[in-house]
Amino acid sequence: MFKSLRAEIDGMMARDPAARSRLEVVLCYPGFQALVIYRAANWLWRRDVRLPARFLSHIGRVLTGIEIHPGATIGRNLFIDHGMGVVIGETSEIGDDVTLYHGVTLGGVSPSENSESQRNTKRHPTLERGVIVGSGAQVLGPFTVGECARIGANAVVAKDVPARATMVGIPAKSINTAQQQPRRAAEEPPFIAYGTPTGDIPDPVARALDGLLDEVHQLRARVNELETQAQDSGVDGVEDGEQRGESESADGHEHLRGKC
Ligand SMILES: CC(C)(COP(=O)(O)OP(=O)(O)OC[C@H]1O[C@@H](n2cnc3c(N)ncnc32)[C@H](O)[C@@H]1OP(=O)(O)O)[C@@H](O)C(=O)NCCC(=O)NCCS
């Protein structure tokens, strides 16, 4: 029990640049406190002690601002950073090493008129291992967010998300480029605070410039090739053309003069 709590604290410290000591996490991190209360409430829930489980999780909500239904299934090392306003619904499933920021909802959609019939059906999302959900994001419905996917702040996600995708907007759309996708599952992206990578993710403007430079080099090589061919075959067109161009432009200037 204490070993696993220690591991949870270490996981939180590894993912929050602001955390300085284990004691600080225990005393000042509502995400940690909510998780401890959830573990106890979930223990009661699984033994069919339902009302005390709900009441305990309600106390957790009052103390931390984080509402976790005791029936939710949560793996190891969940990190809820800041926490206030997080809601995790009853049939949510959360894999290991998931990170949620404040204001995230793992919720259902459109409650049906017959809530009795819905009680035992899955209504909330499943987040696979390593998912990061940005602040204010709403993940609504009984679908799966694949491993290591990142959901942008304030996104609204209402359908399946592929592993390692980055989703932003309402409704959320993927912004992954081919270069950003790890080529193999083994190339697992490391955790990055706030889900925001720095470093070797290629800059799209630099990529576009690289492409243009390549094209310029190819065109220059082609022009050189054509000039060599023209000289070899004795065509003197370039110089003729230049002379014709000069006299045409002189005429042209005569026409334009006086118009502007
Ligand atoms: C989604 C996210 C993970 C993407 O990070 P990233 O890979 O570094 O992406 P970039 O910042 O390069 O943005 C790529 C594009 O998506 C847009 N974008 C990024 N996050 C967005 C968001 N949440 N909503 C809408 N658009 C977003 C950017 O404006 C950019 O658009 P452009 O290409 O037209 O300029 C990150 O922006 C995010 O929202 N992280 C959560 C942070 C959070 O919740 N912090 C709370 C800490 S207390």
Residue scoring higher pLDDT (196 or 91): 91
What band does 188 get if pLDDT is binned at 50, 70 and 90?
low
Distance 169 CA to ligand 1 centre (A): 9
Residue 210 and residue 128 share a domain = no
Distance 202 CA to ligand 1 centre (A): 15
Give the domain extent around 213. 205-256
Of the listed ranges 12-26, 47-61, 115-129, 186-200, the one predicted with least confidence: 186-200
What band does 149 get if pLDDT is binned at 50, 70 and 90?
very high
Q: What is the pLDDT of residues 197-217, one digit of tens each?
A: 655 555 566 777 888 898 999
The ligand 1 atom at the shortest distance from the C-alpha of residue 204 is: 33
Percent of the chain scored above 70 by pLDDT?
Answer: 78
Distance 152 CA to ligand 1 centre (A): 6
* Burial class of residue 142 in the structure, from the number of CB atoms within 10 Å of its CB (0-12 exposed, 13-18 middle, 19+ buried): middle
169-182: burial string, b at 16+ Cβ within 10 Å, e else: eeebeeeeeeeeee
Strands 150-151, 166-168: pairing kind: parallel
Residue 218 and residue 182 share a domain = no
Residue scoring higher pLDDT (11 or 49): 49
Asked whether 101 lines ligand 1 (CB < 6 A), one says yes
CATH number at residue 88: 2.160.10.10
Asked whether 192 lines ligand 1 (CB < 6 A), one says no
Asked whether 79 lines ligand 1 (CB < 6 A), one says no
Across the range 104-116, mean pLDDT stands at 80
Residue 192 has pLDDT above 90, yes or no: no
Residue 102 has pLDDT above 60, yes or no: yes
The ligand 1 atom at the shortest distance from the C-alpha of residue 167 is: 1
| Active centre residues (catalytic) | 102
Residue 131 has pLDDT above 80, yes or no: yes
Residue 218 and residue 102 share a domain = no
Count of the separate structural domains present in the chain: 2
Q: What pTM was computed for the model?
A: 0.74
DSSP string, 188-247: PPPP-GGG---SSSPPHHHHHHHHHHHHHHHHHHHHHHHHHHHHHTT--HHHHHHHHHHH
Residue 233 and residue 174 share a domain = no
Residue 166 and residue 232 share a domain = no
Minimal-distance CA residue to ligand 1 atom 18:
168
Cβ atoms of 173 and 157 closer than 8 Å: no
Asked whether 191 lines ligand 1 (CB < 6 A), one says no
Of the listed ranges 54-63, 121-130, 189-198, 240-249, the one predicted with least confidence: 240-249
Residue 258 has pLDDT above 50, yes or no: no
What band does 178 get if pLDDT is binned at 50, 70 and 90?
low
